[in-house]
């Protein structure tokens, strides 16, 4: 019985003894061993009573086993819900509850803090550590290394990836087998991946970029990956000679550019560097070419859509643009008010349609209807234009979103917490330019009349509830927030006012205790 995603990405490598993952300690995991591990894990899931269509939530450190858990879910038809390892218990509780996950798989170190939450939500908990130990790994070790692949169809959901919303409530994007397969096929072709490719993989595997773009493309092409636990610039420099290609967020490239050992010789053999998840400054593109001779290939995607556009493999990779719509993907620029398509060259909201576009938000039909039109076009919330040569330029966002080091941060989620703090009447959270992360989070707080909120206490209150990467790097007090005639906070005014906060030392030194008016 068919299971298209499993068959095309995993099953066809059965018995292959060539490496799939090259690990930092010099060992490798073959395709055959990886598939056996995944099958053992699939047996555990079924033995625990999980069935096709059920959900499991995984908050585990990056490792071969963590990736095998993804394969096990695909093989058993269980919906995979990967979660950022930085999320707090409070954040996790929302995802487990909203998705109705029956099983939470986490690192042993987190088990104690997550058990009560999981049990209260009716989910069981098992552990899987990066070194291959934990209760889930032990259970898998006792299982057969084969598994009868569950039949699935291309419209069946393979994964739920949560993406925050402008209301502060995260939404689970339902990605079907067909979404993931079509995008992997397209990218292999457009970026010329084949079985000789060795992709340097230093991205996290709980997001679209590291899990679907990088991993699925390598699986589809039958190549291999140098699988690093995280981005460490020295490790990347050390591993580049053994790689053919690398996918990264812009921060990877700015950090590499600061490294004295990044030379044209070091990367002369490389075939491809790609960038995405956040805007790559033209300046970074140009500096990277000067330093290495390589023009970074920038592409544009989203959790809900996988990849939409890409600069060409052959042909001009134009700095500051995200290239052309991928084959099979339609992209149009529309008027945000009317939804009408705008004339070529005009700036408007970007809408996309194609086999890559998700099936909707998990159990949120109104939110799905608000963003996914009946005619199949998805309203991305990004603002862009198409130039006279057909290159797509992203010029801004029609959604209140900060992207820091490739992670999305929705201000509303932080503002809701700041507003609850003693002495605070209201707040606004903005993203301001940051040399390393692209943008960084700043919280602007308006005190209640006659009160002086304790900014250190607020920092720690936020720290207990939100992942570190979402926490404001600076908190500043303001008398009031600028508003337009409709009473809406003018975040653009605030962004302009604080645009040099992380660039300009005296301002930066004011940090949390500063009262900036």
Residue 230 touching ligand MLC (CB under 6 A): yes
Class of residue 273 by CB neighbours under 10 A (exposed 0-12, middle 13-18, buried 19+)? buried
Alpha carbon of 140 to those of 2, 118, 184: distances in Å? Answer: 24, 21, 29
**Which residue among 36, 99, 102, 251 contacts ligand MLC (CB under 6 A)?**
251
Q: Least Å distance between CB 91 and ligand AMP?
A: 15
Q: Which two three-digit tokens encode residue 494? A: 């605030």
CB of 139 to ligand MLC, least distance (A): 30
Nearer to ligand AMP, 3 or 284 (CB): 284
Q: How far is the CB of 302 from ligand AMP (least distance, A)?
A: 4
Q: Which residues of 68-101 are buried (b: 16+ CB within 10 A; e: fewer)?
A: bbbbbbbbbbbbbbbbbbebebebbbebbebbeb
Please give the span between the terminal C-alpha atoms of the chain, in angstroms, as a whole number: 66
Question: In sequence order, what are the residues at sequence separation of 6 or more whose Cβ sits closer than 8 angstroms to the Cβ of residue 64?
Answer: 21, 23, 29, 34, 37, 132, 227
Q: Which residues bind ligand AMP (CB under 6 A)?
A: 163, 208, 276-279, 298, 300-303, 322, 380-382, 394, 397, 403, 408
Question: Is 317 an interacting residue with respect to ligand MLC (CB under 6 A)?
Answer: no
Residue 294 is classified by DSSP as: P
Nearer to ligand AMP, 248 or 381 (CB): 381
Which of 4, 165, 276, 472: binder of ligand MLC (CB under 6 A)? 276
Task: Return the one option of ligand MLC, ligand AMP, none that residue 437 interacts with (CB less than 5 to 8 A, by type).
Answer: ligand MLC
Q: Is 19 in the site for ligand MLC (CB under 6 A)?
A: no
DSSP state of 468: G
Q: Characterise 88 by phi-psi region: left (phi > 0), alpha (psi -120 to 50), beta (else).
A: beta
Contact between 437 and ligand MLC by CB under 6 A: the answer reads yes
Smallest separation (angstroms) from ligand AMP to the CB of 298: 5
In whole angstroms, the minimum distance from the beta carbon of 402 to ligand AMP comes to 10
Residue 305 interacting with ligand MLC (CB under 6 A): no
Min dist CB 432 to ligand MLC, Å, is: 13
Secondary structure (3-state) at 196? coil
Q: How far apart are CA 181 and CA 4, in angstroms?
A: 8
- Could you count the other beta carbons within 10 Å of the beta carbon of residue 484? 10
Which of ligand MLC, ligand AMP, none binds 61 (CB below 5-8 Å, type-dependent)?
none
C-beta closer to ligand AMP: residue 110 or 285: 285
Q: CA 137 to CA 149: how far, in whole Å?
A: 20
Asked if residue 459 lies in contact with residue 417, where contact means CB atoms within 8 angstroms, the answer is no
Q: Cα 77 to the chain's mean position, in Å?
A: 22
Tokens representing residue 493 in the block = 């005014």
Q: Compose the 179-218 pattern: x for residues touching ligand MLC by CB under 6 A, - for all others.
A: ------------------------xx--xxxx--------
CB under 5 to 8 A by kind: which of ligand AMP, ligand MLC, none does 204 bind?
Answer: ligand MLC
Minimum distance from CB of 233 to ligand MLC (Å)?
8
The reply on whether position 70 binds ligand MLC by CB under 6 A is no
Q: How far is the CB of 407 from ligand AMP (least distance, A)?
A: 7
* 450, two tokens: 């006659």
* Least distance in angstroms from the C-beta of 68 to ligand AMP: 24
Residue among 77 and 472 whose Cβ is closer to ligand MLC: 472
| Nearest-approach distance from CB 49 to ligand MLC, in angstroms | 32
d(CA 150, CA 147): 9
Q: Which does 517 bind (CB under 5 to 8 A by kind): ligand MLC, ligand AMP, none?
A: none
Cβ proximity to ligand MLC: between 171 and 209 the closer is 209
Q: Choose the contact partner of 321 out of ligand MLC, ligand AMP, none; CB within 5 to 8 A by kind.
A: none
- Give me the residue whose beta carbon is nearest to ligand MLC: 405
Our CB check for ligand MLC shows the closer of 64 and 204 to be 204
Whose Cβ is closer to ligand MLC: residue 34's or residue 300's? 300
433 DSSP β-pair partners: 439
Q: Tokens 């006012």, residue?
A: 497
* Shortest Cβ 350–ligand MLC spacing (Å): 13
CB 491 within 8 A of CB 112: no
CA–CA separation, 414 and 424 (whole Å): 13
468 binds ligand MLC (CB under 6 A): yes
Contact pattern from residue 371 through residue 410 relative to ligand MLC, giving x for each residue in contact according to CB under 6 A and a dash for the rest = ---------------------------------xxxx---
Gap between the Cα atoms of 55 and 81, Å rounded? 7
DSSP string, 129-147: -TTS-SHHHHHHHTS-S--
Locate the DSSP E strands across 224-376: 224-227, 245-248, 272-275, 297-302, 306-310, 324-325, 330-334, 348-353
**Count of CB atoms within 10 A of residue 212's CB?**
26
- For residue 163, the partner it binds in ligand AMP, ligand MLC, none, with Cβ less than 5 to 8 A by kind, is ligand AMP
Q: Total residues at the site for ligand MLC (CB under 6 A)?
A: 22
Name the residues that contact ligand MLC, by CB under 6 A. 203-204, 207-210, 230-231, 249, 251, 276-277, 301-303, 404-407, 437, 468-469
């Amino acid at each position: 019985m068919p299971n298209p995603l499993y068959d095309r990405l995993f099953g066809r490598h059965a018995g292959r003894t060539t490496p799939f993952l090259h690990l930092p300690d010099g060992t490798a995991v073959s395709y055959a061993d990886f598939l056996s591990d995944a099958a053992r894990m699939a047996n555990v899931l079924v033995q625990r009573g999980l069935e096709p269509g059920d959900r499991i939530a995984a908050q585990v450190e990056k490792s071969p086993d963590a990736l095998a858990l993804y394969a096990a879910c695909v093989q058993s038809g269980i919906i995979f819900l990967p979660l950022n390892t930085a999320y707090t218990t409070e954040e996790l509780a929302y995802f487990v509850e909203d998705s109705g996950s029956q099983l939470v798989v986490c690192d042993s170190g987190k088990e104690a803090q997550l058990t009560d939450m999981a049990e209260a939500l009716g989910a069981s908990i098992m552990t899987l550590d990066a070194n291959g130990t934990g209760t889930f790994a032990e259970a898998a070790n006792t299982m057969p290394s084969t598994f009868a692949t569950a039949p699935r169809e291309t419209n069946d959901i393979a994964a739920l990836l949560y993406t925050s919303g402008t209301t502060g409530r995260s939404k689970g994007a339902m990605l079907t087998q067909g979404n993931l397969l079509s995008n992997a096929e397209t990218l292999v072709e457009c970026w010329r991946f084949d079985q000789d490719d060795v992709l340097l993989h230093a991205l996290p595997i709980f997001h679209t970029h590291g899990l679907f773009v990088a991993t699925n493309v390598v699986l589809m092409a039958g190549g291999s990956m140098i699988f690093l636990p995280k981005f460490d610039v020295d490790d990347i420099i050390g591993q580049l000679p053994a790689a053919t290609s690398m996918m990264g967020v812009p921060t990877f490239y700015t950090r590499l550019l600061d490294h004295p050992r990044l030379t044209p010789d070091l990367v002369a053999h490389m075939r491809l560097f790609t960038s995405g998840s956040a805007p790559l400054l033209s300046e970074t593109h140009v500096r990277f070419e000067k330093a290495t001779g390589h023009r970074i290939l920038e592409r544009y995607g989203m959790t809900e859509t996988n990849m939409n556009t890409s600069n060409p493999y052959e042909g001009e990779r134009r700095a500051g643009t995200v290239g052309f719509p991928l084959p099979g993907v339609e992209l149009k620029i529309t008027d945000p008010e009317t939804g009408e398509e705008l004339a070529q060259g005009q700036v408007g909201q970007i809408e996309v349609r194609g086999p890559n576009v998700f099936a909707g938000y998990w159990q949120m039909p109104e939110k799905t209807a608000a963003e996914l039109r009946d005619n199949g076009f998805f309203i991305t919330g990004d603002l862009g234009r198409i130039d006279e040569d057909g290159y797509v330029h992203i010029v801004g966002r029609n959604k209140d979103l900060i992207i820091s080091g490739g992670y999305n941060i929705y201000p509303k989620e932080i503002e809701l917490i700041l507003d609850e703090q003693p002495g605070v009447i209201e707040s606004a959270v903005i993203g301001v330019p940051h040399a390393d992360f692209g943008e960084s989070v700043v919280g602007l707080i308006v005190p209640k009349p006659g009160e002086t909120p304790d900014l250190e206490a607020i920092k720690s209150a936020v720290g207990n509830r939100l992942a570190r990467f979402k926490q404001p790097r600076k908190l500043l007090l303001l008398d009031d927030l600028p508003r337009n005639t409709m009473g809406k906070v003018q975040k653009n005014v605030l962004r302009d006012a604080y645009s040099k906060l992380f660039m300009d030392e005296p301002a930066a030194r004011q940090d949390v205790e500063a009262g900036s008016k």
